Amino acid sequence: MKGHLHRKMLRGCQLETHGRPSSQAECFDQRVGVGVASPHHAALARRSRVATKRVRAGLRPELLSVSWKLYPSTFVFENDFTALKPNTARDRLDIESMGLLVAEAEPGTCRVICFSPRHDLTLATIGVDGIELVVRTWIEQFRELGNLENISHVQIFENRGAMMGASNPHPHCQIWATASIPEAPKKELIAQHAYKKAHGRCLLCDYVVLEEKQHVRLMHSNEGFVALVPFWAVWPFETLVCSRRHIGNMVQFARDEVRSLAAMLQRVTSTYDKVFGVPFPYSMGFHQSPTDGSDHPEWHFHAHFYPPLLRSATIRKFMVGFEMLGSPQRDITAESAAERLRELAGGQ
């Protein structure tokens, strides 16, 4: 969390930061280590050493109970190291007006969501009730950011593990809300629109029906969602999660679908942890309907999981050589990956 944001919170609670005995400081820091401390230390800023120094410099012990009340479950804050700023001017640069070297400014907002005040939990271990709280926070954030006039896309994503660039182990995800629709969801938008125009039906609705009929690439399903290894999977144990009902985004969830998604995320992530017996790294994100003010009946809610581990807890897939210069190669088939995941998921 931002240092100045933390200080504002302290002032709002009329707490002081005067000195206190070193034994109290050590006691507070020890409590931080077991995950019951303030949002300042538990939140995700890459300032953990600075935060510890500030604790030892004299934050009063009563901050523990106050912080627990401030941060009982999920916690949302603006990213310290934001890549997007809401007041960025929509400037465009075209060097020598040739259309070859073009740059456009991208306004937007970056936020972080802590899943829990505890350091030792993940989506795989927080439990369905805990994940349901996270899902409800995602819904609130999508609604709030998507209603902003200059936001066309709200991207919720999680990078889990140092292998995926997560610099802080505390369970968290990020939200980037952008003025334009990014490249990957834009390609999906074009494909879904073209399929609906050609067939009069939803692309992913038809795809889920086909995959359930084939069954060989299914991983797990429940009342609201289906998890499968997509036919086109590139990453080992890549997973696609689709809603059964044709909905565009989380705001449209029925109450039971909130619970169903929480249960599905718990099943997928806990199954991943069983593959090699380690906390499984991945990048995961939801692709939801654009928030550009237009109707998007073609869009179907889904999530992507991209895990890098291939043959063991230490051997990962690299996109190199022909895969960078030609096209991606499949180290394992989607069918064999799904079979393995299905076996592990069924063993829970």
Q: Is the dihedral angle over the CA atoms 181, 182, 188, 191 positive or is it negative?
A: positive
pLDDT category, 70, cuts 50, 70, 90? low
Considering the domain architecture, whether residues 67 and 113 belong to the same structural domain is answered as no
Does residue 286 register a pLDDT over 80?
A: yes
Could you report the per-residue pLDDT of 266-276, keeping only the tens digit for each? 999 999 999 99
Domain-located, residue 85 = no
Domain-located, residue 83 = no
Backbone angles phi, psi at 46, to 5 degrees: -85, 45
Other beta carbons less than 10 A from residue 3's beta carbon: 14
Tell me what the mean pLDDT of segment 175-180 comes to.
Answer: 97
Residue bearing tokens 């930061």? 17
Does residue 73 register a pLDDT over 90?
A: no
Closest CA to 59 of 19, 29, 86, 98: 19
Which amino acid, residue 40?
Answer: H
Does residue 205 register a pLDDT over 60?
A: yes
Considering the domain architecture, whether residues 114 and 211 belong to the same structural domain is answered as yes
Domain-located, residue 19 = yes
Mean pLDDT, the chain, whole residue set = 82
Domain-located, residue 237 = yes
- CATH number for the domain spanning 219: value is 3.30.428.10
Domain-located, residue 231 = yes
**Ramachandran area for residue 108 (φ above 0: left; ψ -120 to 50: alpha; else beta):** left
Q: Which of 121 and 261 is assigned the larger pLDDT?
A: 261
Domain-located, residue 80 = no
Which domain range does residue 50 map to? 3-71
Tell me what the mean pLDDT of segment 163-188 comes to.
Answer: 92
Active site residues: 172
Does residue 51 register a pLDDT over 70?
A: no
Tell me what the mean pLDDT of segment 231-256 comes to.
Answer: 97
Spatial distance between the Cα atoms of 45 and 127, rounded to a whole number of angstroms:
25
- pLDDT value, residue 315: 85
Other beta carbons less than 10 A from residue 263's beta carbon: 18
Domain-located, residue 152 = yes
Quote the radius of gyration of the chain (alpha carbons, Å).
22
Domain-located, residue 90 = no
